[in-house]
Structure 1
């Protein structure tokens, strides 16, 4: 029995993906130490392994982004982008191994919204470095990726467009003077925010209405401008045909933590005694951790041989406590200029939608895999009994059944991998101010009232006609 227990423990040690480093990264970011967070991520590279290469590149790309190492972040994210393309093709051998064990045996491919975010973060890296033309190249990649996704998505009401990504491309196009593409991006973003309101849980950002007014006015699109002015009579906006000495400050606020996934077990009894065992097991066995519980379940159900386990992922939201960011630009001379960020991206809603769309397929595959494992265990048990003397058949069958049924239970693991260094929400604020020297102050404001004790300050030198991007991260 001890050998069986150790064997099951060894099997479990190869299943799944350890995520302990995420807690340390969150603690570092909470202490406003993104460089330490990135160092922790770098040290965790060996834990990811070859099957999670894409996940590591995305996770590390984000921690480098938050640490201000934008060039290195783009290097990792470019690798991630290439890996996404490579993973479109997989070998039959890998698929078969995953079907006979669990989906963690497959290379992590990422969700479509994560693929889009690779290019979004790359674009923001270039923008933060002041390389706006390179950022526009990424904006075009975002456009291409979303166009392909929209054409190929099977679910009519699924994730096939991304309002935030479209909006960001508009900001980048406008910052480089490409008003035609900026207007097209803003209009697409407006339509997507409207059409996805039910599940995206992101209200129409007021600044987007101002963007449509500003760009249609600058492009002399009289009919469109008058229509938007009729629709948005109370919206204030800054005309591009006004003073030529204005500069723009764009603040990107990352708030909270992306949702995580956890495993949920569905133990299906196929006999009355197995049903009694499952009910008893839920109330009797207590283990100090999830792995010990899995081993105990595997031994118990392996001895019974009439319990089929199905493991499914479940999303656990980690919603931010931040309501918005308050931004103040203090000039050397003159009155401070203030602004407030607006919600543009709800990462938890995107993750929930993605998992919901995939859940029927995940469940069907898990049930089929469980049935195949059970059938194989039964065949192995009967085969072993027929292969030995009649007097030894009972104990040999018991031992082989324990091993095969126990391993079937032990190897059933849900795929709980996801890009967890992303934020829960992204907010944006945009301020047009006269050129000059400023001190910027970014103060997160909490939902229950009050602000965090320490805001972030940046000295800024703003030139007329230029756009500066600032990145702010709050874990709460």
Structure 2
């Protein structure tokens, strides 16, 4: 009986401890409200409060390294916290703080990568997940989140005019994609083995009666080869490599973006005109003034020194006026003095993951072997959205069309599509384990009978409640990530410019400055709010409700840009 009490208390305790993860969707919905209303500080305060308050990092001991540029982590805060905090700080104009938070998040993912390289089985077998639910698993980030973290860090480094660090993040992005591809292949194989071992017949979401399969069979989802590569990420890689003079890697980036988004003029032009754009620019040269050689008077040939001494010296011939000779004419390039500017527009908020309950017929161990039984289970669902995002911006009152590049909503649904075989296997095996445990509790209390008294009924009820409370899909996801990425590319004269966006009849604008050969200006649109991303400037508005300031305009300048 004592063992039974311990078992029940353990199940109830684990159920309670998992509640913090199970209400993540609700918590982030409240935090997102601040972004939509222009009050990012309130959102950041709410996020900090949900994690136990501001960072509390212990000072390093004498044996620990005290001089380090790496940000220190608060042990109470996990991967999701640092991803969300980095995004909120970026919207608030704190690029350095955003980078610090994202580097901490990257440290969590680096640990996952190291574990994957050393011992993949450590990641594939998670006992806690099979006992309760997926929210009890250590959150390692969805595949697209791992990669978009590299993209965000690259943009932050560009905002701080550190293009070499941006290149490092781009390289890490490609390496991370290769690791994820290898890991997902192992996950699928493990899911098949688990399903066969438990004699599960249902292994696909298509066999779940009532599941909204149209969300995963949407053409927008099916055209993606996987959930972790994005056309925006590849295009940004091409642009960064181009700005650093590596045309071969730039071409590879643009080509990959074109494969993911075929027949898009902006992407095709990036690849087609790469050689022309990266050709050395000939700086204007000053006129060269060359004086002509003086023409001395002719003298008869002299046969000896005496004759030379007796020769009558002739006055020098008059010197002709100086003549200006221009440098050789160089081919005329109307864009030679313009700045190749990449405009990045991040739109909306990443989708929420919802829980949908669907019953599944499972083989439950019984006295006669395996008895089929209908069990209500929880499944993750991401709903498609049809947002009305701006399709153009104005630069100095001139319309510049935006080109759609990447949908995080589609990538999120593709992630569920790819993960479903493993989710079905884990959820089914977990349900079987819970039912067997519940049956064991019922049988034990029944045998104990009068010895337990009313406590026996309470044990049975408490166990059922705990099992029901822990049956929920994993709704954790990076909610402050943009929903979509759009870009434009324009040749702008060096100097200050005005960016304007019409949001719900309100024109919001900010100023940015470009110089050198390449420059990036980034913005974020959420609802009717416009956030300029990068060094600080002011977002102004023709209507009420000015958004948080942030700012943009980052350029590769001077001779460095011409390499």
TM-score, normalisation: structure 1:
0.73
Does residue 413 of structure 2 align to residue 355 of structure 1?
Answer: no
Contact persistence 2:18–2:135 (CA under 8 A): no
Counterpart in the other structure of 1:372: 433
Q: 1:315 matched to which residue of 2?
A: 382
Contact 1:51 1:107 in 2 (8 A): no
Tell me which residue corresponds to 1:409: 468
In structure 1, the residue corresponding to 2:391 is in which secondary structure?
Answer: strand
CA 12–308 in structure 1, closer or farther in 2 if over 3 Å, else same: farther
Contact 2:25–2:353 under 8 Å retained in 1:
no
Report which of the two has the higher share of helix. 1
Partner of 1:159: 227
Q: Distance in 2 between matches of 1:51 and 1:210?
A: 48
* Alpha carbons 1:386, 1:393 under 8 Å: kept: no
Structure 1 gap ranges (5+) = 195-203, 221-238, 271-305, 331-335, 446-450
Structure 1 counterpart SS, 2:471: coil
Q: What residue is the counterpart of 1:325 in the other structure?
A: 392
- 1:452 and 1:250 map into 2 onto residues whose CA distance is 25
**Cα gap change, 1:257 to 1:161, in 2 (>3 Å):** closer
Question: What is the CA–CA distance in structure 2 between the aligned matches of 1:269 and 1:134, rounded to whole Å?
Answer: 52
1:457 and 2:510 aligned: yes
Do structure 1's residue 173 and structure 2's residue 241 form an aligned pair?
yes
Distance 1:243 1:412, change over 3 A: closer
User: Which structure has the larger Rg?
Assistant: 2
Question: Which of 459, 464, 469 in structure 1 is aligned with 2:521?
Answer: 469
- Supply the distance in 2 between the matched residues of 1:142 and 1:54 (Cα, whole angstroms): 17
Report the Cα distance in structure 2 between the residues aligned to 1:164 and 1:375, rounded to whole angstroms: 48
1:338 is paired with a residue whose SS is strand
2:80 matched residue in structure 1: 55
Provide the rounded CA distance (Å) in 1 between the counterparts of 2:472 and 2:77: 16
Is 1:127 equivalent to 2:158 in the alignment? Answer: yes
* Correspondence for 1:424: 483
- The alpha-carbon deviation at position 372 of structure 1 amounts to 0.9
Which whole-Å CA distance do the structure 1 matches of 2:88 and 2:230 have between them? 23
What is the CA distance between 1:123 and its match in structure 2?
0.6
For residue 152 of structure 1, report the CA deviation from its aligned partner.
5.3
- Paired residues for 1:16-415 under 5 Å: 16-46=22-52, 53-87=78-112, 89=115, 95-150=126-181, 153-154=184-185, 157-159=225-227, 161-194=229-262, 204-218=263-277, 242-267=334-359, 308-328=375-395, 330=396, 336-388=397-449, 398-415=457-474
Residue deviations 1:221-256, cap 9 Å, x none? xxxxxxxxxxxxxxxxxx996532111332221212
Query: Separation in 2 of the partners of 1:187 and 1:148?
Result: 21
Relative distance call for 1:8 and 1:149 in structure 2 (3 A) is: closer
CA distance, structure 1, for counterparts of residue 76 and residue 495 of structure 2? 50
Deviations along 1:4-29, one digit per CA (max 9) or x if unpaired, are 9xx97994574213344433433322
Is the contact made by 2:347 and 2:526 (CA closer than 8 Å) also made in structure 1?
yes
| Structure 1 residue 146, shift from structure 2 partner | 2.5
Asked whether 1:436 is paired with 2:528, we answer no
- Cα distance in 2 for partners of 1:101, 1:150 equals 28
Distance 1:24 1:165 in 2: 29
Helix, strand or coil at the partner of 1:387: helix
Instruction: Give 1:387 shift.
Output: 3.5
Gap change, CA 1:310 and 1:249, over 3 Å in 2: same
Aligned partner of residue 87 in structure 1, secondary structure = helix
Q: Which moved more, 1:405-414 or 1:90-99?
A: 90-99
1:91 is displaced (CA, Å) by 6.5
Give the 3 Å change call, closer, same or farther, for CA 52–112 of structure 1 in structure 2: farther
Instruction: Report the CA distance between 1:117 and its aligned residue.
Output: 0.4
RMSD: 3.4
Please say which of residues 421-430 and 145-154 is displaced more in the overlay.
Answer: 145-154
Q: Secondary structure at the match of 1:412?
A: coil
Residues 232, 257 of structure 2: 8 Å contact kept = yes
Quick one: distance in 2 between partners of 1:441 and 1:410? 50
TM-score, normalised to structure 2, is 0.63
Mapped partners of 1:397, 1:41: distance in 2: 42
Partners of 2:458 and 2:513 lie apart in 1 by 75
Q: In structure 1, what is the Cα distance between the partners aligned to 2:76 and 2:131?
A: 17
- Tell me, in whole angstroms, the C-alpha distance in 1 between the residues paired with 2:184 and 2:29: 34
Q: Give SS of 2:392's match.
A: strand
Do the aligned partners of residues 452 and 50 (structure 1) sit closer, same or farther apart at CA in structure 2, a change above 3 Å counting? farther
CA gap 1:92/1:172 in 2 versus in 1, 3 angstroms: closer
SS of residue in 1 equivalent to 2:272: helix
5+ residue gaps, structure 2, are 1-7, 55-73, 116-120, 189-223, 280-330, 363-372, 529-563
Post-superposition offset of 1:307: 7.1
Counterparts of 1:150 and 1:465, CA distance in 2: 36
SS in 2 for 1:322: coil
Q: Distance in 2 between matches of 1:361 and 1:308?
A: 18
